[in-house]
Amino acid sequence: MKNLYVVVAMLLGFLAVSCGTSPEAQKNQWNSNKKRLTRLQAEYPNFKTALAAVLTDAEAKWTSAEGVSGEEAQIEAMQGANSAASPQFVKDLDGLNKKMEDLKDLMTDVQQHVADYGDAAAARVAASEANNTLATVEGGIRTASASDANSANAITKGWTSKLESASKRLKKVQETAQKKKDDKKAADDKAKADDDKKAAADEEAKKPIKCAGCGTMNEAGSLKCSGCTAPLD
């Protein structure tokens, strides 16, 4: 029983750290947020101003948090700095490449199997829409002008929602095709089972009938026994 308490205490301790409720965990979070902001500035030059402003603001909050006394109050201040370092557009930019890669994979998959789809036209339309969405976002990355966090948030929100709906459309095509496939397989399986059943019944009907009275074997289909004329069933 005592061991159980130890395990529970250790688990709670682990959770506390992983949820970021210690200054050390906040510090780790902060370092990774700072790295991310720096990396994204290089990766998305058109967002550099907005990203730099976020970093400056968050750094001021972090510096002041480091001077806060009392662990609980300090953790709260550190959390404030970390959340200031990760506004929505920063998270969106961070996940953008993955979203675009996933959409490309999905699009390629649908394009490669277009002939397998019951509605090949719908598959082509969804793939072409995905292609346009990718071109729009790629073009946007090159030309966007995000002067501050608000405009940056609006821009990446638009991209994210476009990428998500293009991906949804492609998945819908895949699901519809899969359902058609499943339905066809179910129908084929049923037809096969019916055939087997019929074959078994035919086989049964061909069997000779033994007369219960005299034991004579009669041809399949006989109504009366050829030995004793008793009716056969």
Which residues bind to Zn ion, rule: CB under 5 A?
211, 213-214, 216, 225, 227-228, 230
What is the distance between the alpha carbons of residues 165 and 129, in angstroms, rounded to a whole number? 10
- Minimum distance from residue 216 beta carbon to Zn ion (Å): 5
| Residue 178 exposed, middle or buried by CB count within 10 Å (0-12, 13-18, 19+) | exposed
- Minimum distance from residue 222 beta carbon to Zn ion (Å): 10
Amino acid present at 98 = K
Give whichever of 60 and 214 is closer to Zn ion, judged by the CB atom.
214
- Minimum distance from residue 207 beta carbon to Zn ion (Å): 16
What is the distance between the alpha carbons of residues 104 and 80, in angstroms, rounded to a whole number? 36
Chain-centroid distance of CA 131 in Å reads 20
Give whichever of 75 and 211 is closer to Zn ion, judged by the CB atom.
211
Give whichever of 35 and 224 is closer to Zn ion, judged by the CB atom.
224
What is the distance between the alpha carbons of residues 165 and 159, in angstroms, rounded to a whole number? 10
- Which long-range contacts does 21-24 make (Cβ < 8 Å, 24+ apart)? 21/75, 22/75, 23/71, 23/74, 23/75, 23/78
Cβ atoms 124, 114 nearer than 8 A: yes
CA 154, 155, 156, 160 dihedral sign is positive
Give whichever of 52 and 228 is closer to Zn ion, judged by the CB atom.
228
Give whichever of 139 and 208 is closer to Zn ion, judged by the CB atom.
208
- Minimum distance from residue 205 beta carbon to Zn ion (Å): 20
> Could you tell me which residues come within 8 angstroms of residue 149 by beta carbon, excluding any fewer than 6 positions away?
50, 53, 54, 87, 89
Residue given tokens 């967002």 in the structure block: 47
Q: 218 forms bridges with which residues in the sheet?
A: 209
- Minimum distance from residue 230 beta carbon to Zn ion (Å): 5
Give whichever of 11 and 217 is closer to Zn ion, judged by the CB atom.
217
Give whichever of 220 and 228 is closer to Zn ion, judged by the CB atom.
228
Let me know how long the chain is: 233
Phi first, then psi: give them for residue 218, nearest 5 degrees: -110, 155
- Minimum distance from residue 202 beta carbon to Zn ion (Å): 25
- Minimum distance from residue 194 beta carbon to Zn ion (Å): 36
